[in-house]
Amino acid sequence: MRSALRYWNPEAETMPRERLRLLQLERLRDRLAWVYERVPFYRDQLDKAGLTPADVRSLPDLGKLPFTKKGDLRDNYPAGLFALPLTDCVRVHASSGTRGKPTMVGYTRSDLAAWSDVCARAIVSMGGQPGDVIQNAYGYGLFTGGLGFHQGAELMGCTVVPTSSGNTARQILMLQDLGARGLACTPSYALNLGDTMREAGIDPTSIQLRYGMFGAEPWTDELRTQIEQTIPGLKAYDIYGLSEIVGPGVSVECSERDGLHVQEDHFLVEIVDPESGLPRPYGSTGELVFTNLTKEALCLIRYRSGDICSLDDTPCPCGRTSVRMSKIKGRSDDMLIIRGVNVFPSEVEAALLAVPDVAPHYQLVISRQGALDEVEVQVEALADSADLSARLSRQLRDVLGLSCRVTVQPSKTIPRSEGKAIRVVDQRA
Ligand code: DLL
């Protein structure tokens, strides 16, 4: 019998940190020269800062370079930040633009090969093995989730069932008939799928799911527990990524589920103060900033992700040597300030799901009364409970210092997700 793989790319995943740092520096210098020669935006940026690529002699020198922001991609829509003409790309993807135009990203054949490799590493890290059947319910299309996962799973010799998102009845049929061991989708959709199976009275032993590869939106350990209770036998793992940098596979949990390993040979990660942009030490919370170390088509330098978490470079028992990210707390632009209290939707999720009788479906509705922001937390109950709303209000006040109205809605009235869940409805003008 073939022994189980521990790593997909052992050389890259277990490289001693000193060697990894040297490799990162070499790749950083090479990519800086690449974009300086080919992308007018970066040439201008560096010229204005009085720098040339040769001025970066050590990794800390990276801090001298200006940031790239989402607005820069928008201003140069569709392909102004590409280092190669569109005709040299073999594929494009785009992230859903909530404000106007989407963000367009491009890939050469070599970019796709590197992306497939990091996705294969991620699948093995979450318990996948060559030969496994993997059902991929991330949306196929411009979104990077579907095709990103697909090519990684194919590369490692899995059998991919490309269901894409939605059509829950057909998803369940495929799970039963083809016996997938791995399920890839957003965590909110996994919960929706599990709930639907339970309501339909499906025998859990007719499903062979063992691992879930869930990401593309913030979620908490409390939601992880709920998903695992809803789909017995499945272990839920977190996978992170963003289209601007590549798509899924930038970082992923291992069997320890104690942070997400960043694929640092491809993505250089920093953590900065979201306000000042100054570097923050490992262990403290801040905004993730990524620099591509190997991309050809769209190679971003110091890209402000907007995602808030912390980094940890202590050794992991799994043997991978890369730095780990904590779960994402939220986005810098999703942080709510409700009567002076700063709160992320994920903190509300963790506090709510710690209370018995509350269903794992919720929405925060924000409105403005005069000069004050009001938040109404809408939830559904698992069982009849006259004082649920009062208990939840107390919990939010005690845990988060947040005073808000909690309304318990009739069952099934909070929209169920098929992709990224909408947790916040902002009614402010
Ligand atoms: O969501 C890529 C992806 C697909 C990741 C499938 C994982 C699985 P975008 O649509 O560009 O790309 O959205 C990127 O989603 O900046 C985060 O705010 C959020 N996000 C992605 N993964 C996670 C995660 C894909 N595991 C944006 N936890 C990112 C929290 C996540 N937030």
Three-state DSSP class for residue 291: strand
Q: What is the pLDDT of residue 98?
A: 56
Q: Please identify, by atom number, the ligand 1 atom nearest to the C-alpha of residue 305.
A: 16
Best CA proximity match to 129, nearest among 210, 53, 217, 185? 210
Model confidence at 205, in pLDDT bands (50, 70, 90)? confident
393, 406 contact by CB (below 8 A)? yes
Distance CA 91, CA 229 (A): 39
The arithmetic mean of pLDDT across residues 333-347, rounded, is: 83
CB atoms within 10 A of CB 306: 18
pLDDT at res. 99: 58
Give the pLDDT confidence of 249-298 residue by residue, as tens digits.
999 999 999 999 999 999 999 999 999 999 999 999 999 999 999 999 99
Q: How many Cα atoms occupy the beta-carbon half-sphere of 350 within 13 Å?
A: 16
* Long-range contacts at 64-73 (CB < 8 A, ≥ 24 apart): 65/32, 65/301, 65/302, 66/302, 67/277, 67/289, 67/302, 67/303, 67/304, 68/300, 68/301, 68/302, 68/303, 68/304, 69/303, 69/304, 70/103, 70/244, 70/304, 70/306, 72/41, 73/103, 73/104, 73/244
CA 218, CA 228: separation in Å to the nearest integer?
17
pLDDT tens-place string over residues 76-118: 999 999 999 999 999 999 987 655 678 999 999 999 999 999 9
Give the mean pLDDT of 388-404.
92
pLDDT in tens, 50-79: 999 999 999 999 999 999 999 999 999 999
| Distance (Å) from CA 127 to ligand 1 centroid | 20
Q: Whole-structure pTM over 0.85, yes or no? A: yes
Which of 217, 289, 335, 420 to mutate to test ligand 1, by most ligand atoms within 8 A of the CB atom? 217
Model confidence pLDDT, tens digit, residues 294-339: 999 999 999 999 999 999 999 999 999 999 999 999 988 888 878 7
Q: Whose CA is nearest to atom 6 of ligand 1?
A: 145
**pLDDT above 80 (res 153):** yes
Percent of the residues in the chain that have a pLDDT greater than 70, as a whole number: 99
Residue of higher predicted confidence among 53 and 403: 53
Helix (H/G/I), strand (E/B), else coil: 43:
helix
Output the ligand 1 site: residues, CB below 6 A.
Answer: 95, 138, 143-145, 215-218, 238-243, 247-248, 305, 307, 328, 331
Q: How far is the CA of 287 from the centre of ligand 1 (A)?
A: 14
Residue in this structure with the two tokens 């061991």, named with its chain if needed: 181
C-alpha closest to that of 344 among 359, 357, 334: 334
- Residue 134 tokens, joined: 């993997």
pLDDT (mean) for 206-216: 97
Q: Whose CA is nearest to atom 12 of ligand 1?
A: 242
Write the residue with the smallest CA distance to atom 30 of ligand 1: 218
Per-residue CA distances from 212 to 90, 191, 226, 239 (Å): 30, 11, 13, 10
Q: Write down the mean pLDDT value for the chain.
A: 95
Strands across the sheet containing 182-185 = 159-161, 133-136, 182-185, 211-215, 235-242, 247-253, 260-262, 324-325, 311-312
The sheet carrying 424-426 orders its strands as 405-409, 372-381, 358-369, 424-426
